């Protein structure tokens, strides 16, 4: 009985140190920014790009084109020239989430830059986003700079099922 209890205690301490090690490894994976599946797809790999789509942005608060269609499974290289005189951005997402972000930006809370599926572009420059549309549906892209989203700087992506 006594021996079993010691064995159990040793087993538990070994087991818990394993858990700690796994959590640490998992943690470091997160820092390496492993692509995260989103309802609208996942960050794309340059080697998997099937075609490029150019979407320009301008100071009329419009994307051109405003509607694009892709096939489920395609990896798209979005080329994003900013033809305006102010900064614009391209953020992939879904209406509800973009609404929420746009409100946070208006309230001065900003949003996380450097996340996947978005590009913040200076005037005269061109941004780039690589994205794999592995889920069918209709999704959105938007410029979330304060006032731009509210002026209608929004577009749609239709992902046709395979």
- Of 105, 130, 145, 159, which one interacts with Cu ion (CB under 5 A)? 145
Distance, CA of 17 to CA of 19 (rounded, Å): 5
130 is a site residue for Cu ion (CB under 5 A):
no
What is the enclosing helix (H) or strand (E) of 31? Answer: helix 2-31
* Residue 62 near Cu ion by CB under 5 A: no
The answer to whether 56 and 117 have CB atoms below 8 angstroms apart is no
Contact region with Cu ion (CB under 5 A), list: 6-14, 90-98, 125-133, 153-161: 153-161
Asked whether the bond before 15 is cis by omega within 30 degrees of 0, the reply is no
Which helix (H) or strand (E) is 62 found in, with range?
Answer: strand 62-64
Contact 126, 39 (CB under 8 A): no
**Candidate ranges 11-19, 20-28, 75-83, 140-148; the one touching Cu ion (CB under 5 A):** 140-148
Give the footprint of Cu ion on residues 24-53 (CB under 5 A).
none
Q: Which is nearer to Cu ion, 70 or 145 (CB)?
A: 145
3-class secondary structure per residue, 131-142: EECCCCEEEEEE
> Considering the rule CB under 5 A, would residue 148 count as an interface residue with Cu ion?
yes
- DSSP annotation of 100 reads H
Question: Nearest approach, Cβ of 57 to Cu ion (angstroms)?
Answer: 6
* CA 35 to mean position of chain CA atoms: 9
Among 55, 88, 90, 139, contact with Cu ion (rule: CB under 5 A): 88
Return the number of the residue (73 or 123) whose C-beta is nearest Cu ion.
123
How many residues does this entry show for the chain?
A: 162
In the bound complex, what is the minimum distance in angstroms from residue 105's beta carbon to Cu ion?
Answer: 11
Query: Taking contact as CB under 5 A, which single stretch among the options 5-13, 21-29, 98-106, 147-155 is the one that binds Cu ion?
Result: 147-155
User: Which residue ranges make up the site for Cu ion (CB under 5 A)?
Assistant: 88, 143, 145, 148, 153
């Amino acid at each position: 009985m006594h021996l079993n209890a010691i064995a159990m205690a040793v087993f538990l301490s070994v087991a818990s140190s394993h858990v700690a090690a796994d959590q640490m490894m998992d943690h470091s994976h997160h820092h390496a920014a492993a692509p995260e599946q989103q309802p609208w797809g996942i960050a794309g790999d340059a080697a998997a790009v099937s075609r490029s789509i150019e979407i320009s942005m301008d100071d009329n608060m419009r994307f051109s084109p405003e509607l694009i269609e892709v096939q489920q499974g395609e990896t798209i290289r979005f080329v994003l020239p900013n033809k305006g005189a102010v900064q614009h951005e391209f953020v992939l997402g879904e209406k509800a989430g973009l609404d929420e972000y746009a409100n946070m930006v208006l309230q001065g809370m900003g949003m996380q830059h450097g996340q996947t599926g978005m590009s913040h572009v200076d005037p005269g420059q061109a941004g780039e986003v690589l994205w794999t549309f592995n889920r069918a549906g209709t999704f959105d892209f938007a410029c979330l700079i304060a006032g731009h989203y509210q002026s209608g700087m929004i577009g749609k992506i239709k992902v046709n099922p395979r």
